[in-house]
Amino acid sequence: NAGVTQTPKFQVLKTGQSMTLQCAQDMNHNSMYWYRQDPGMGLRLIYYSASEGTTDKGEVPNGYNVSRLNKREFSLRLESAAPSQTSVYFCASSEEGGTEAFFGQGTRLTVV
Amino acid sequence: GEDVEQSLFLSVREGDSSVINCTYTDSSSTYLYWYKQEPGAGLQLLTYIFSNMDMKQDQRLTVLLNKKDKHLSLRIADTQTGDSAIYFCAESLNYGGATNKLIFGTGTLLAVQP
């Protein structure tokens, strides 16, 4: 059982480049999330998806877009990367109303 | 508002108890969680407490919740070097029919000295 799988694990981008971070879960969860983790700031919610076909902004959505492609997959897109988006990105999923969120291993993104 | 705060660092000696504290501001939290993050890894759920409970014990872990003060703590008894990690407090909020939204604190780095 793979749980939550994120790709890639590491990425270096130049300012202005675009890329999509992929996330897939095999637990049949309705809810999926994207967080970014920065030193001293904890995890901040970028976007979340309560169910297939719906997405909502979190605390720090600017500069990002998301797609809930199907129940399994929730992707995060950076259209024009900026150095301020250098961070570790985590995808998570949970059952609706569930008590536990399951996290991927993270994507370490550096924008130069 | 949504705000979860923790102290950034805690150092203890092996065998001592550790207490990690957290304060939150949103009284509509349904569940409160403690997650553990080891270096280079994602977060793993350690334990959680429902908002109508005061205390929960799970082996070496004790969670205390003071709803009046919006204060949550995690006590680790007989702390071991393997407990060294970042510990995140999180609250689960439910808005307008949307599913639970998890809001995390800044994380507390626990360093256990042998």
Which residues are within 8 A (CB) of A50 and not within 5 positions of it... i.e. 6 or more apart?
Answer: A30, A31, A56, A96, B98, B99
Mean pLDDT value of segment B65-88: 95
Q: What is the pLDDT of residues B43-59, one digit of tens each?
A: 999 999 988 889 999 99
Q: Do A45 and B101 touch (CB under 8 A)?
A: yes
Contact residues on chain A for B94, CB-CB shorter than 8 A: 97
Q: Is the pLDDT of residue B93 over 90?
A: no
- Contacts across the A-B interface (CB distance below 8 Å): 65
Tell me: pLDDT of B28 over 80: no
Nearest CB to B104; choose among A42, A97, A98: A42
Which residues make beta-bridge pairs with A56? A48
Q: What is the pLDDT at residue A51?
A: 87
Please indicate whether residue B110 or residue B100 has the higher confidence score (pLDDT). B110
Indicate whether B99 pLDDT > 70: no
pLDDT for A98 beyond 70: no
Read off the pLDDT of residues A51-83 as tens digits, 9 standing for 90 and up.
Answer: 888 999 988 999 999 999 899 999 999 999 999
Task: Pick the residue from chain A with its C-alpha nearest to B97.
Answer: A50
Residue B63 · residue B56 · CB < 8 Å: yes
Nearest chain B residue to A54 by CA: give it. B98
- What is the nearest CA distance from A4 to chain B, expressed in angstroms? 10
Main-chain phi, psi angles of A111, to 5 degrees? -115, 120
